[in-house]
Amino acid sequence: MILIKLGGSVITDKTQYRTFNQECVSRLFDEIKKSERGVLIVHGAGSFGHVIAKQYSLQNGLVDFGQIPAVAKVQYDVRELNSMIIAELLKKGIPAVSIPPGSCFIMDNGKLIIKDPEVMLAFSHLGLMPVLFGDVVIDRKKGFGICSGDQIMEILCDLYKPEKVIFVSDIDGLYDKDPKNNKDAKLIDEVTSEKLENINSYSNIDDVTGGVRGKMEAMLRISTERRDCVLINGTVPDRLYSLLKGDKVISTIAKGGLK
C-alpha cells in the first residue's frame, strides 16, 4: 500500500480563501485509478484552513476566547473541503469515508495521539478508504491545536506500514532557496538528515504548520532504511501516475530516517 498526502497547495488555491482546485484533484484521482495501486489518502487544508487559522493564531492554542468562533469556522471549512475530496473519489468509483481528526483524536501539547484506531481500521478491512485531513483538534495542554496532515501521515505509517509514502505539492521538490522568489534556486533530489542541516529554512507565510523545512523533517521521520518518502509536483500531469508505476520522476526523496 502507498500512503499519499495531497497538500493544500495542490488541492486549493492557497492565496484565495476557500478555493477548491477541483480539476486538479479529479485528474490526480484519475492517475491513482489508472496506476491500479492500493493507496490511502490524507489531505491538507490549504486556503480552507490556513487563512483563518493564521488570522486567529490557532496554532498557538487557546490564548483568548475571541478565537473560539474561528475554531468552529475552520472545522466547518475543512469538513466542506473533505466532502468535496470524497465526492471526487466517489465519482471515480473509489469508496471513501471521512474520518475527521477533530472529532476522533486528541493532541497532547502539539503531539497527535490516536488511542483507538478501531473504526478507521475496520473501514479499511471492509474495503473502504478512510480519508483523514488537517483539522483543529482538542489539545489536553493548550485547549486546542492545529493538527496537520503531515502529523497524521506519521501516525498512519505506524498503523498501516505503507511500502512508500508520497507528498503531493505544487513544487517539484525541495529547493536550496525559496523557488518562488529566487530564480537560481536548485532542486535537491535527495535529502538525508545530514543534508537537511545545510538547507536554508524558508516557508510560505500563509502556512501555520511549519513550511517546507517542517515538511521535510516530517518526511525524514517517515522515511526508513527500507521506505522512501517522496515529494512531487502534482500540478504536472502524470507525474503522480509515473511515480506510482515505479518510474523515476522529478522529485525530492527523503531517505534513511531523521537522526
List the interface residues with ligand IPE, window 209-238 (CB under 6 A).
209
By CB under 6 A, tell whether 74 contacts ligand IPE. Answer: yes
Decide whether 112 or 226 has the Cβ nearer to ligand IPE: 112
Closer Cβ to ligand IPE, 207 or 228, answer by number? 207
- Report how far residue 235's alpha carbon sits from residue 170's, in angstroms, rounded to the nearest whole number: 6
Q: If binding is defined by CB under 6 A, does position 102 make contact with ligand IPE? A: no
Q: Are strands 229-233 and 252-254 parallel, antiparallel or unpaired?
A: antiparallel
| By the rule CB under 6 A, 146 interacts with ligand IPE | yes
Rule CB under 6 A: choose which of 162, 207, 230, 244 binds ligand IPE: 207
Among 139, 150, 170, 228, binds ligand IPE (CB under 6 A): 150
What are the φ/ψ torsions at residue 130 (nearest 5 degrees)?
-75, 130
Q: Does residue 134 interact with ligand IPE by CB under 6 A?
A: yes
Q: Identify the residue among 2, 3, 4, 7 touching ligand IPE (CB under 6 A).
A: 7
**Other beta carbons within 10 Å of 13:** 16
Amino acid in position 207: D
CB of 125 to ligand IPE, least distance (A): 26
Nearest residue to 54 (alpha-carbon basis) of 68, 75, 70, 78: 70
Is 67 a binder of ligand IPE (CB under 6 A)?
Answer: no
Helix ranges (DSSP H) in the chain:
8-11, 22-35, 50-55, 68-91, 101-104, 118-125, 149-160, 193-196, 211-222, 239-244
Pick from 135, 139, 170, 228 the residue near ligand IPE by CB under 6 A: 135
DSSP string over 77-114:
HHHHHHHHHHHHHHHTT--EEE--HHHH-EEETTEEE-
- Which C-beta is closer to ligand IPE: that of 89 or that of 208? 208
Residues touching ligand IPE, count (CB under 6 A): 20
Residues that bind ligand IPE (CB under 6 A): 7-8, 44-46, 49-50, 53, 74, 78, 134-136, 146, 148-150, 207-209
